[in-house]
Amino acid sequence: MDRRFFMKGSAALSAAGASPLFPTAALAADEMLIGSIHDLSGGLDIYGKPMVDCLTLAIEEQNAAGGLLGRELRLMSYDPQSNMQLYTQFAQQASLKDKVAVLHGGITSASREVIRPVLGRNKTLYFYNTQYEGGVCDRNTFCTGVTPAQTVAKLVPHAMKKWGKKVYVVAADYNYGQITSQWVKKYVQENGGSVASIDFFPLDVTNFGPTISKIEAARPDMVVSALVGGSHISFYRQWAAAGLNKKIPLASTTFAGGNEHIVLSAAECDGFLLSYNYFQNLETPENKAFKERFYKRFGKDYPNITELAMGSYQGFKLWAEGVKKAGTLEIGKVIDALESGISIAGPSGKVSIDPATHHCVLNVSIAEVRNKQLNIVETFQQQAPLDTSAVCDLKKNPRDNKQYVIKV
């Protein structure tokens, strides 16, 4: 899968225009540049490549509809190779040298927090289209992915009702895993349960044997995983090899975001529970039409359209609606337009920007992994970003510019 995604990602870059790792083609005078900083190599490329594919499709669709403000759009895609220094370098290049109209990018919270201040200083609008731990409050930034109050709040009670009240948490050792694990603990306790332990792992860890032994000894009713990246797939393989996937069920806030259910065998991950805004088997007219367009563009053998990929698609569509309403690329007027109640009928359902937080109100579903498919079992309509709205009100405090660590 990695090689095929690389080929498709490379083709998308060629079609889109250029990568800063290669000489940049001459820019037509009336072209509008759209920046993308997503990992196309390195440990997080399992997320980045599908995100760029969806962003590519969104831009091509906009061009087919006449572009924006009478101008053709071109994607400028930068590959930071999962390197924070390159994220900073490319954010600077995109805003000051290439002068992109907007930048869509970042996967981890760490990458977002090195991009965000650069774009703020350089007055370049930023869209972060990835699920994350919540709390970013910045008028120059729009966060279109789901937050814990939208997904973890639904996943944990559902799983506890199904499996039991004693929970063991494993998570990636950075902002997302650390903060999300606290949300898991909050919802476990609110639903009458207890957390046996929370274990954190750097993104490059591949040996989970000692922790698996600890989990087996703790005898929880279930495990909740907030593991991230290609290396952490090893946990699920080792978990199955130890036979624990047949004894202790697992729910995850991150699994399948990088198509892990395609990489693993069905026997290794059947029965896992997940919660996201988007699953590709949503039965709506908008999603059916989207999939037809997507598979026509990228091939019928494309393995699965991920939550993060859809976030990039819908994030671009929201930005484009803001530009059309503003009638200009002037950043203040585009932000005003986006804060006016912009919404789209996306493949995942209605998606609206919450003016006070610059986050989204959207649908959330719970799905079960079965035979390499993500089968929806329950859907919750129009979930608000209640975690971030508890600490952020950009209508009252438009100069706020930080990520709050929300007290859980």
Task: Please tell me the distance from the alpha carbon of residue 44 to that of residue 230, in angstroms, as a whole number.
Answer: 7
Nearest CA to 55 among 324, 298, 334?
A: 298
Q: Which pLDDT band holds residue 30 (cuts at 50, 70, 90)?
A: confident
**What pLDDT score does 305 carry?**
95
The neighbouring-strand residues paired with 102 are: 34, 125
Using alpha carbons, list the distances in angstroms from residue 405 to 82, 130, 392.
Answer: 24, 18, 11
Tell me the DSSP string of 318-365. Answer: HHHHHHHHHTS--HHHHHHHHTTT-EEEETTEEEEEETTTTEEEEEEE
Instruction: Determine the 3-state secondary structure of 402 from DSSP.
Output: strand
Average pLDDT over residues 129-150: 97
The neighbouring-strand residues paired with 168 are: 197, 223
The neighbouring-strand residues paired with 32 are: 73
**What residue ranges define each of the domains in the chain, with the CATH number in brackets?**
2-146+282-360+387-403 (3.40.50.2300), 152-252 (3.40.50.2300)
51: pLDDT strictly greater than 60: yes
Mean pLDDT of the chain: 92
Average pLDDT over residues 147-151: 97
Q: Which residues of 42-60 are buried (b: 16+ CB within 10 A; e: fewer)?
A: bbbbbbbbbbbbbbbbbbb
**What pLDDT score does 230 carry?**
85
The answer to whether the beta carbons of residues 356 and 142 sit under 8 Å apart is no
Q: Which residues of 145-157 are buried (b: 16+ CB within 10 A; e: fewer)?
A: bbbbbbbbbbbbb
In tens, the pLDDT along 238-287 reads: 999 999 999 999 999 999 998 999 999 999 999 999 999 999 999 999 99
Average pLDDT over residues 83-94: 97
Angle formed by the axes of helices 45-64 and 285-298, to 10°?
100
Token match 């007027």: residue? Answer: 333
140's enclosing H/E stretch is none
In tens, the pLDDT along 180-217 reads: 999 999 999 999 999 999 999 999 999 999 999 999 99
Other C-beta atoms within 10 Å of 15: how many?
A: 12
Average pLDDT over residues 278-306: 95
**What pLDDT score does 274 carry?**
97
**Residue 330 or residue 14, greater confidence:** 330
Average pLDDT over residues 30-39: 96
Q: Which pLDDT band holds residue 15 (cuts at 50, 70, 90)?
A: very low
Mean pLDDT lowest for which of 5-9, 116-120, 188-192?
5-9
In tens, the pLDDT along 338-375 reads: 999 899 999 999 999 999 999 999 999 999 999 999 99
